[in-house]
């Protein structure tokens, strides 16, 4: 945040590199859904969670690769 205080492009509702509406939205969503995520992590089988996370990582890696190829 301190490094971006003197940027040449001032953006409304921001301090340095922190955009406060996004920060607030992400913080509230995280606080609300963290208990749900913890409950699901305890109730779902470990192998299922590993498989879902693996698929998620694969999809994100493919998206990153395709975005590099397009540009």
As a whole number of angstroms, the distance between CA 53 and CA 46 comes to 11
CA 47/CA 41 separation, integer angstroms: 11
Q: 21-51: per-residue pLDDT in tens? A: 999 999 999 999 999 999 999 999 999 999 9
Confidence at residue 17, expressed as pLDDT on a 0 to 100 scale: 86
% of the chain residues with pLDDT over 90: 76
Range of the domain at 41: 14-70
Q: What is the mean pLDDT of the chain?
A: 93
Answer whether residue 49 is part of any domain: yes
Buried b (16+ CB within 10 A) or exposed e, 28-59: eeeeeeeeeeeeeeeeeeeeeeeeeeeeeeee
CA atoms of 64 and 67, how far apart (whole Å): 5
- 2 falls within a domain: no
SS3 at position 45: coil
Per the structure, how many domains does the chain have? 1
């Amino acid at each position: 945040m301190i490094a971006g205080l003197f940027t040449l492009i001032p953006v409304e509702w921001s301090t340095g590199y922190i955009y406060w509406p996004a920060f607030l939205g992400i913080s509230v969503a995280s606080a609300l859904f963290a208990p749900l995520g913890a409950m699901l992590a305890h109730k779902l089988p470990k192998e299922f969670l590993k498989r879902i996370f693996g698929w998620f990582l694969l999809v994100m890696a493919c998206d990153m690769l395709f975005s590099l190829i397009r540009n």
